[in-house]
Amino acid sequence: MTLDVGNKKWQVFMLVGVSIFMSTLDSSIVNVALPYIMEDLSSDVRTVQWVVVVYLLTVSSLLLTFGRLSDIRGRRQIYVIGFMVFTAGSFLCGQAGTSWMLVSARMLQGIGASMLMACSPALVVDAFPQTERGKALGMMGAVVAAGLTLGPLAGGMILSYFSWRLIFYINIPIGVMAVVAGILVLRDLPAGNGSREPLDKAGSFLLVLFLCSLIVTLTRLPDWGIISLKTGLGVATAVTSGLGFVLNESRTDYPLLDLGLMKIRLFILPLISTAILFASLFLLVFMMPFYLTYPAGFTASKTGIIMIVPFLFLLIISPVSGILADRLGSRLLCTLGMAFMCLSLFFLIFLSPEPDIWAIVWRMALAGIGTALFVSPNNTAIMGAVAVHQRGIASGAVATARTLGMVFGVALAGTIFSAFLTFQGKGMDSYIPAMAPAFMAGFRHVMAAGTFLAAIGVAVTFSRGSEYRKTADSI
C-alpha cells in the first residue's frame, strides 16, 4: 500500500532530491574545507574534527525521534520545518567567528538535517509502488552521488577564489525555495496517522545520551587516556543509558524503536551493514583532504577534483544497482560492494607521500564503486522488510545507522591519526615536509583500521541471506 499521491510521485521525488542534494553537497564541501577552516580560525585537527562530528552526532541522535514524529504528525510538517532549521543553521555557520561558534551552528544545522533525513526514504517509498521502489531509491542514490560529486569540485573552486564561509551561504537560497516547494507539493499528504500516539520522550532522551556519551568518549580518548575518571564516566554513561533505552523501549506502549524489528533478519543485518559501510567511507573521506593538502601538496581546486572520484562512480552506478536490486535482491550486490570498499582501504595503506594522481584515483574509485553497489539494494531490503505504518521508524533507523557510521568513522580516524602525530598540538598550518613520516604513519594506521572494519562488514552483509518475497504492502 502506498500513499495516494497519484501523479505527484515525481514531484515528491524532486523535492526529496533537493533536500538530499543539499545535505550531501554541504557535507562533502565541508570535508574539503577543513584544512582552511582550521587555519583561518586558528584551530587544530582535534577541534576542527568536531565541525564534522557534531553535525553527524546531532543528526544520528535525533533521526529516530523525527522518524517517529513523521509517522504520528505527518511527513509534511517535519520536512518543511527541517528545511527552515537547516537554512537558519547554514546562515549561522557562515557568520561564525571562532571554531566553537562554528561547531554550535553546525549542531543547529544537524537538527534540521535530521528532520529532512528522517522523512526522505519514507516519502519516496510512500510515493512509489513496490515494483518501482528499487528504481526510485537507486535514482535517489544518484542524487546523493551528484551532491557528493559536486561538493568537492565546488568546494575547491570556492576555496580558490572566496572564503570558506560561502560554502554555507549557498544553502540559504536553496533552502528558502525548498520550503515554499515543500508546502505546495506535500499539501495533499495526510497530516499524520490520526492515532494521536504520544512521542516516547524518555526513549528520545536516553538515545541522545547514549550516542553523545559514546562518541564524545571515543573522540576524547587520546586526551583522557584509557584508564581515567573521565573515560570511566563516559563509558558508564553510555552503557547505562544504552541499557536504559532498551529497557524503556521494551516496556512502553508507544516505543521510539519497535524492538520487534530487531528480530527481522533483513532489517537488523542490513542496518548494521549500513553503519559499517559509512564508517569505512567517511574514515577515508575525512583523511584524504589532509593527505592531498599536506604530504601530496595539491592545491584546493586539485584536491576538490580528486575528491569527486568515488562519488562520480556512485553517480553512474547507483541507478543501475537499484534496478538490479529489484531483480536480484540485495545479498550479492551489497556483499560485493562492501568487498570493494575493503579493497580500497587496503590499497590506500600503501600510498606514498609523493603525489601520484593515478595511484590515488584508482584506489578511491574502488570505494565509489563499492558504495554504489551497496546503498540502493540495502535500503530497498530494509524498507521492504517492514510494515507500512513502520516506514517512518525504519527510515529514521536507516539514516541513524548511516550517520552513526559516519560519526564513528570520523572519530576513529581522528583518534588514530592524532595519536601518531608528534605535531598534533601545533596545528596542521605548521606542517613541513620533515613531518611526512609521522603523518604517513598515522594515515596508514587509519586505513588499516578501516580495512579491518570493512572486512567485518563483508561477513555481516553476506550473513543476511536471501530476501523473502513478502513485501511491506502485504504486511
User: What residues does each domain of the chain span?
Assistant: 6-199+256-474, 200-255
HSE on the CB side for 408, CA within 13 Å?
22
pLDDT in tens, 214-258: 878 877 776 787 788 988 999 999 999 999 999 998 888 888 777
CATH architecture of the domain 6-199+256-474 equals Up-down Bundle (1.20)
Mean pLDDT of all residues belonging to the chain: 80
Residue 426 has pLDDT above 50, yes or no: no
Q: Which of 103, 125, 114, 118 is nearest to 52 (CA)?
A: 103
CA distance 308 to 9: 30
Residue 195 has pLDDT above 60, yes or no: no
The one-letter amino acid code at 280 reads: S
pLDDT at 388: 66
Q: How confident is the model at residue 457 (pLDDT cuts 50, 70, 90)?
A: very high
pLDDT in tens, 284-339: 988 888 898 888 888 877 887 888 788 778 778 877 887 787 777 788 899 999 99
Residue 474, exposed/middle/buried by CB under 10 A (0-12, 13-18, 19+)? exposed
Q: Report whether 403 contacts 284 (CB < 8 A).
A: no
pLDDT at 49: 76
Residue 177 has pLDDT above 70, yes or no: yes
Please, which residues have CB within 8 angstroms of residue 14's CB and are 6 or more apart in sequence?
none
Of the chain, the end-to-end C-alpha distance in Å amounts to 9
